[in-house]
Amino acid sequence: MSFPMILGVILAVYVFNCLKILNEYERAVIFRLGRILTKPKGPGFVLVLFPIDRMVRVDMRTITLDVPPQDVITKDNVSVKVNAVVYYRAIDPNRAIIEVEDFHFATSQISQTSLRSTLGRVTLDDLLSERESINAELQDIIDKATDPWGVKVSHVEIKHVDLPQEMQRAMARQAEAERERRAKVISAQGEYEASEKLAMAAEVLQKQPMSLQMRYLQTLMDMSTEKSSVVVFPLPLELLRWMDRPGK
């Protein structure tokens, strides 16, 4: 084999090794003699001139970060364990590579510290009831911290709040007391409405004395339908009034 053929084979192998294939969701950050090229490459074929070029692949897809449980002391001094999930993606591959050593690890760390500091400023009741506002605040804080790295945080969601057993029992007692309070309020409201209706009925009976006698008869009819040995004799109210007169 002649020298030009050998040289051609070496050149073909070199060019073949210099060709890199990038997927649709990938971008390549190329360093040429230590300096970054102005624009990321990809997708498709990318020519990397070895050894003067160095390529770093950057995944442009949204990444799901599971923040491990963090020990948090709320504003009202309750110790809880809280974990969360963060969705983020690299929108500027150049900055994601040159501004921070590992943007995945950096995003994880800033998410953990932001989770602890933010939840430390809210009470337990707000943590359990105001999830949407806390999630939005966490997203804004983490997104501002990762923006110089070319990383965009799209969503943050608190997954689980682990309460101590003592706090769970205290909240159960509080909920039971609240239900009892509502039951007493409803019962008192029913008594009040019933008293109003009875007062209205008394006014009607006072205007029509015979209506009270009809109520007596209705009561006797209701009692007669039941199997009972008790005999009830109604006493006319006029007799009671006659006995109450002075000098009878």
pLDDT at residue number 233: 61
Q: Give 207's contacts (C-beta < 8 A, 6+ positions apart).
A: none
CA pair distance 46, 195, nearest whole angstrom? 88
Residues 27 and 68 in one domain: no
Q: Are 19 and 77 part of one and the same domain?
A: no
Q: Does residue 46 belong to any structural domain of this protein?
A: yes
Same domain, 37 and 132: no
Which range of residues forms the domain containing residue 50?
Answer: 8-59
Q: Rounded to whole angstroms, how far apart are CA atoms 11 and 9?
A: 5
For residues 91 and 160, state if they share a domain. yes
pLDDT recorded at residue 243: 60
Domain match, 71 and 164 both: yes
In a domain, 19, yes or no: yes
Say yes or no: 44 and 115 in one domain. no
Confidence (pLDDT) at 1: 64
- Tell me what pLDDT residue 157 has: 93
Tell me, yes or no, whether 39 and 128 share the same domain.
Answer: no
- pLDDT, residue 110, reads 94
Mark whether 115 and 34 lie in a shared domain.
Answer: no
> What is the per-residue pLDDT for 148?
94
Cα(18)–Cα(12) distance, integer angstroms:
10
Q: Are residues 90 and 47 in the same domain?
A: no
Residues 67 and 33 in one domain: no
Q: Does the residue 143 lie in any domain? A: yes
Q: Is 242 domain-assigned? A: no
Is 148 a domain residue? yes
Tell me whether residue 235 is in a domain: no
Q: Answer yes or no: are the C-beta atoms of 80 and 127 closer than 8 Å.
A: yes
Which of 168, 188, 203 is at the close of a domain? 168
**Domain harbouring 81, CATH code:** 3.30.479.30
- H helix runs in the chain, sequence order: 3-18, 93-98, 103-119, 124-129, 131-146, 165-207, 209-224, 237-243
Among candidate residues 138, 168, 198, the one where a domain is terminated = 168
- Tell me, yes or no, whether 145 and 118 share the same domain: yes
Q: What is the pLDDT of residue 68?
A: 92
pLDDT truncated to tens, each residue of the chain (248 aa)? 677 787 877 778 877 788 888 899 899 999 988 888 888 888 888 888 888 888 999 999 999 999 999 998 888 888 889 999 999 999 999 999 999 999 999 999 999 999 999 999 998 888 888 889 999 999 999 999 999 999 999 999 998 888 877 776 777 777 778 788 888 899 889 888 888 887 887 777 777 766 766 776 777 777 666 666 666 666 665 655 666 655 55
Instruction: State how many domains the chain has.
Output: 2
Final residue of a structural domain among 149, 168, 187: 168
Would you say the pTM of this structure is higher than 0.75?
A: no
For residues 75 and 30, membership in a common domain is answered with no
List the beta bridge partners of residue 27. Answer: 58
pLDDT the model gives residue 62: 93
Given a contact cutoff of 8 angstroms between Cβ atoms, the answer to whether 134 and 119 are in contact is yes
